[in-house]
């Protein structure tokens, strides 16, 4: 297999990535909404009509014209006498997918000029930076916001609930316990707690709530007489939240929330419908999935370079790269220059392997560019400004570095320890295409130990050699070997022949 043919897999990766992102429009919003029913006084007792998603063909029931109107804090719709309520639900871990859902929902609510936003919350929390993005977006919307906690609003979920203008809770619901912890549940250093305390205080203050109570949900050292003793993290029940101004009332269903909030009748609920595309994108941009995709990219490139032909490893690397960058590109996180930077890293690495002798500036530079591009595409930065990446819904810089570097280290370790063993397995060999030039990939009959021959092509580091009268694929043990130089067999394995220059 010639050097030109070995460079072909790299070229295909570059072309596939460019085509993959070129036909995907940036900022596509696949979130759809469907309109539920118009509420009458009789409808208020019917929970299922709102809790169950209704298709776009659902009928609208006119309310009675003589319905008494309740005092409302929200503005009336300018297009009709019907109050428009937009329903958003957070029933998942607070991760980039949740940010995507809330961001698209709020944009849609503002677009259709809803009078109210009703945020239904049931979550144990998640990433602080994502929660900060969500609470900032809620605080900045001009629409009136209601939070309905129907079970849990723990940790990051509490922050999101406090960002809403009014909070309502189910009888058995709870809210609080916002101490920042790591993936194992251990409390992280105080500099992270300090940040969380600050945004909890600021959020509570912006909605007229006691900032000390919000801080006590993070810091166990905060003591508030009659509320919480020092040494304990604050978590409210519904009754406790009402008594301390963190809940406006208890409600068993959404209709009761709207009645308690004084939403004017007749009203119509518009519920966000999450499409399959939205769910797939939310899943792909989860940090754990991103780490797995990075492992597949690195492993696919490594095994393709170790094996002749264009086969399964290349397909895995290309598919993983597309699945990694395309959702981030759609979310506006991965910019064109970051994708091009990744491609430039692949080119430099390929040049180092196939063109330049040794392992120097091009190889190291290629690896650095690839890693930097993978990290930067996860961060919501503006160009090279990484001061407040969370403002655009991306991960924090340190978290993005962990997401990328962890699989890089794992991949490097695994390839060093098990890479050659995997290459020699029968299952892997079946996935590799045969050499188009007719050279034997490995000799069917073992070569004599220490046999000598000549390089038929340049070995940079792989190429073809003639040993014992047979033309076979081989790899230089050290550096590169020019065409025509004498070589000697130094190692023979099931899937590799290694030679040295004489």
Predicted local confidence at residue 393, as pLDDT: 44
> What is d(CA 177, CA 321) in angstroms, rounded to the nearest whole number?
38
The confidence band for 296, taking pLDDT boundaries of 50, 70 and 90, is: confident
Residue 440 lies inside a defined structural domain of this protein: no
Q: What average pLDDT does range 494-498 have in this prediction?
A: 69
DSSP string, 444-465: SSPPPTT-EEEESS-BSSEEEE
Assess whether 47 and 149 both reside in one domain: yes
Distance of CA 128 to the CA centre of its chain: 14
Distance of CA 501 to the CA centre of its chain: 48
Residue 216 lies inside a defined structural domain of this protein: yes
Q: In this structure, are residues 44 and 255 in contact, taking their beta carbons and an 8 Å threshold?
A: yes
Assess whether 291 and 309 both reside in one domain: yes
Assess whether 66 and 147 both reside in one domain: yes
Q: What average pLDDT does range 314-319 have in this prediction?
A: 85
Of 227, 250, 274, which residue is a domain's last?
Answer: 274
pLDDT digits (tens, 9 = 90+) for 165-188: 999 999 999 999 999 887 667 888
Assess whether 177 and 232 both reside in one domain: yes
Predicted local confidence at residue 305, as pLDDT: 66
Assess whether 142 and 289 both reside in one domain: no
Q: pTM above 0.85? A: no
The confidence band for 247, taking pLDDT boundaries of 50, 70 and 90, is: very high
pLDDT digits (tens, 9 = 90+) for 27-53: 334 443 333 433 433 343 333 333 333
Predicted local confidence at residue 464, as pLDDT: 83
Q: In this structure, are residues 252 and 266 in contact, taking their beta carbons and an 8 Å threshold?
A: no
Q: What average pLDDT does range 465-478 have in this prediction?
A: 83
Evaluate if residue 59 carries a pLDDT over 80: no
Mean pLDDT across the chain, nearest whole number? 76
Assess whether 121 and 140 both reside in one domain: yes
CATH number reported for the structural domain that contains residue 193 in this entry? 3.90.226.10
Predicted local confidence at residue 430, as pLDDT: 53
Residue 253 lies inside a defined structural domain of this protein: yes
Q: In this structure, are residues 341 and 403 in contact, taking their beta carbons and an 8 Å threshold?
A: no
Q: Higher model confidence: residue 306 or residue 407?
A: 407
Please list the residues that pair with 224 across neighbouring strands.
228
Highest-scoring range by mean pLDDT, 246-255, 338-347, 458-467: 246-255
Residue 492 lies inside a defined structural domain of this protein: yes
Predicted local confidence at residue 45, as pLDDT: 34
Of 221, 246, 274, which residue is a domain's last?
Answer: 274
The confidence band for 347, taking pLDDT boundaries of 50, 70 and 90, is: confident
Predicted local confidence at residue 388, as pLDDT: 43
Assess whether 239 and 283 both reside in one domain: no
Of 251, 274, 297, which residue is a domain's last?
Answer: 274
Assess whether 83 and 227 both reside in one domain: yes
> Prior bond to 266 cis, omega within 30?
yes
The Cβ-side half-sphere exposure at 250, using a 13 Å CA radius, reads 13
The count of structural domains within the chain is 3
CATH number reported for the structural domain that contains residue 497 in this entry? 2.40.50.140
Work out whether the CA dihedral 398, 401, 403, 405 comes out positive or negative. Answer: negative
Assess whether 195 and 61 both reside in one domain: yes
CA distance from start to end of the chain: 22
> What is d(CA 118, CA 115) in angstroms, rounded to the nearest whole number?
10
Assess whether 348 and 362 both reside in one domain: yes
Residue 444 lies inside a defined structural domain of this protein: no
Range of the domain at 497: 452-501
Please list the residues that pair with 149 across neighbouring strands.
121, 169
Assess whether 303 and 250 both reside in one domain: no
Q: Quick one: 474 exposed, middle or buried, by C-beta within 10 A (0-12, 13-18, 19+)?
A: buried
Assess whether 483 and 405 both reside in one domain: no
Q: Return the closest-CA partner of residue 220 out of 209, 234, 208.
A: 234
Residue 442 lies inside a defined structural domain of this protein: no
Q: Higher model confidence: residue 274 or residue 122?
A: 122
Residue 155 lies inside a defined structural domain of this protein: yes
Residue 249 lies inside a defined structural domain of this protein: yes
pLDDT digits (tens, 9 = 90+) for 367-426: 888 888 888 888 766 666 555 434 344 456 777 777 777 777 777 777 666 655 555 555
Q: Higher model confidence: residue 112 or residue 15?
A: 112
């Amino acid at each position: 297999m010639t050097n030109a043919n070995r460079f072909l897999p790299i070229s295909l990766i570059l072309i596939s990535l460019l085509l993959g992102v070129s036909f995907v429009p940036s900022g596509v919003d696949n979130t759809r909404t469907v309109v539920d029913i118009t509420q009458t006084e009789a409808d208020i007792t019917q929970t299922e009509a709102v809790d169950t998603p209704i298709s776009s063909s659902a009928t609208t029931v006119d309310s009675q014209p003589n319905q008494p109107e309740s005092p409302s804090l929200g503005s009336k719709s300018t297009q009709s006498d019907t109050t428009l309520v937009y329903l958003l639900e957070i029933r998942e871990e607070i991760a980039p997918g949740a940010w995507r859902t809330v961001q698209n929902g709020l944009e849609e609510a503002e677009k259709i000029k809803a009078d109210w936003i009703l945020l239904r919350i049931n979550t144990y929390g998640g990433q602080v930076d994502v929660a900060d993005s969500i609470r900032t977006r809620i605080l900045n919307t001009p629409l009136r916001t209601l939070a309905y906690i129907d079970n849990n609003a723990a940790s990051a979920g509490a922050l999101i609930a406090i960002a809403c203008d009014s909070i309502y809770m189910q009888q058995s619901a709870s809210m609080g316990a916002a101490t920042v912890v790591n993936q194992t549940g251990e409390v992280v250093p105080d500099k992270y707690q300090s940040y969380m305390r600050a945004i909890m205080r600021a959020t509570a203050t912006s909605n007229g709530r006691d900032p000390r109570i919000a801080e006590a949900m993070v810091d166990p050292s905060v003591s508030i007489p009659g509320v919480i003793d020092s040494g304990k993290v604050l978590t409210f029940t519904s009754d406790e939240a009402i008594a301390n101004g963190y809940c406006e009332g208890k409600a068993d269903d959404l209709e009761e929330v709207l009645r308690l909030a004084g939403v004017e009748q007749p009203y119509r609920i518009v519920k966000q419908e999450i499409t399959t595309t939205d769910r797939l994108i939310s899943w792909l941009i989860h940090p754990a999935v991103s780490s797995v995709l990075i492992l597949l990219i690195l492993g696919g490139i490594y095994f393709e370079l170790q094996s002749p032909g264009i086969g399964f490893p290349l397909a895995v690397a290309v598919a993983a790269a597309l699945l990694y960058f395309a959702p981030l590109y759609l979310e506006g996180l991965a910019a064109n220059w970051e994708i091009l930077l990744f491609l430039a890293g692949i080119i430099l690495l390929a040049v180092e392997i196939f063109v330049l002798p040794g392992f120097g500036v091009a190889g190291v530079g290629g690896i650095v560019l690839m890693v930097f591009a993978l990290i930067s595409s996860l961060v919501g930065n503006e160009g090279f400004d990484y001061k407040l990446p969370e403002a655009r819904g991306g991960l924090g810089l340190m978290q993005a570095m962990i997401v990328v570097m962890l699989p890089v280290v794992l991949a490097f370790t695994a390839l060093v320890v098990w890479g050659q063993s995997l290459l020699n397995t029968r299952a892997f060999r079946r996935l590799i295409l045969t050499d188009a030039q007719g050279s034997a990939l490995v000799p069917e009959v073992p070569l004599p130990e220490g046999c000598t021959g000549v390089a038929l092509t340049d070995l940079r580091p792989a190429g073809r050699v003639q040993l014992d009268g047979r033309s076979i694929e081989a790899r230089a043990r050290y550096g590169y070997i020019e065409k025509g130089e004498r070589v000697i067999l130094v190692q023979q394995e099931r899937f590799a022949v290694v030679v040295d220059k004489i």
